[in-house]
Amino acid sequence: MKDSNNMAKDQGKTATLYRMVMPDHICPYGLKSKDLLERQGFTVDDNYLKTRDATDAFKEKHGVKTTPQTFIAGDRIGGYDDLRRHFGKTVRSKDETSYRPVIAIFSMAFLMALAVSWFTFGTIFTIRALEWFIAISMCILAIQKLQDVESFSTMFLNYDLLARRWVRYGYVYPFGEALAGILMIAGTLIWIAAPVALFIGTVGAVSVFKAVYIDKRELKCACVGGSSNVPLGFVSLTENVMMIVMAIWMPIRLAGFG
C-alpha cells in the first residue's frame, strides 16, 4: 500500500515509462504498464527502447535486470508487478494455488449447456441441460489433460491408485473421459460411455478420498492438466462423482425410467 509521501507524489499524475519496442518484439508487460498507468489517471512519457543495445545500456545505467521500468515523480517504481503493488493491486505468484481455472471451466460448461438447451427445447431448465453440463465439463477437463498428457500423467501418479500399479493408465484416462463425455453429449452408445465413466470415476474418487481425507496429503490436482495449481481435494472428487452419477443416470433415463 502506498504511504502518504507516495500519495503526494502521485498528485502530479505524470509517469515516465521505458519499454522495449523493437521491429521483432514489443514487450507485453510494457503495454500493460502503460495501460495501468493511464487507467490510474497518469499522463505517460512513453520512451521506446528500440534496440537490444539501447535496452542493455538502460539496464546498466539504472542497475536493473528487466524492462519495462516506470518512474513516478523521479522515483523508480520498477516493473509491471512492482507497479501493480504500488497501486495496491494483487500480484499473483505463478506457484500460488487457485481455483480460477476450475471456476472458468464449470461456468462455461454450465452456460454452454443452457445455450444448447435453449436452442433445442426453447427453455434452459431441462434435465437434458444438466446432463449436458456434466458431459461438457468432462470434455473440457479432458481437453485440459490432453494438451500435455505427459505432464498430466506425471502429476496423476502422485495420488491415483490404479496409475501407480499400471503407469499407462495415466495416459489412457484423458481419452476415456473425453470419449464418455462426447457420447453422453450425443446421447448415444451409452453402453460404452457409462461403464467407462463409472470405472474411471470410481477409481478416481477412491484415490482422491484416500490421498486427501485419509492420508492427509497436500497435493496439486491433475484434473485441469499437469501444470495446474488447483489443490487436490473437493474439486477432483466432484469431477469423479459427476462421472459416477452420469454413468448411473444415463442408462436409467434411456431405459425410460428417468
Rounded to whole angstroms, the maximal C-alpha distance in the chain is 77
Residue 20: partners with Cβ closer than 8 Å, 6 or more residues away: 26, 27, 30, 48, 49, 55, 67, 68
pLDDT digits (tens, 9 = 90+) for 10-51: 455 899 999 999 999 999 999 999 999 999 999 999 999 999
Q: What is the mean pLDDT of residues 90-119?
A: 85
- State residue 102's pLDDT score: 84
Q: What is the mean pLDDT of residues 231-245?
A: 86
Grid cell locating 102 = 476450475
Grid cell locating 74 = 523521479
Distance between CA atoms of residues 213 and 56, nearest Å? 52
CA dist list (Å): 127 to 73, 131, 137, 254, 258: 61, 6, 16, 12, 9
DSSP state of 74: T
Q: What is the mean pLDDT of residues 122-136?
A: 93
Give the residue among 194, 129, 212 at the shortest CA–CA distance from 221.
212
**Domain limits of the chain?**
4-86, 100-254
Question: Which class for 186: exposed (0-12), middle (13-18), buried (19 or more C-beta within 10 A)?
Answer: exposed
Q: What is the mean pLDDT of residues 173-199?
A: 94
CA dist list (Å): 146 to 125, 142, 177: 31, 6, 10
- State residue 60's pLDDT score: 93
Distance between CA atoms of residues 204 and 246, nearest Å? 15
Q: What is the value of pTM for the model shown? A: 0.78
H and E: helices and strands count for the chain: 11, 5
Cβ atoms of 229 and 235 closer than 8 Å: no
Q: Does domain 4-86 have CATH number 3.30.300.30?
A: no
Cβ atoms of 173 and 200 closer than 8 Å: yes
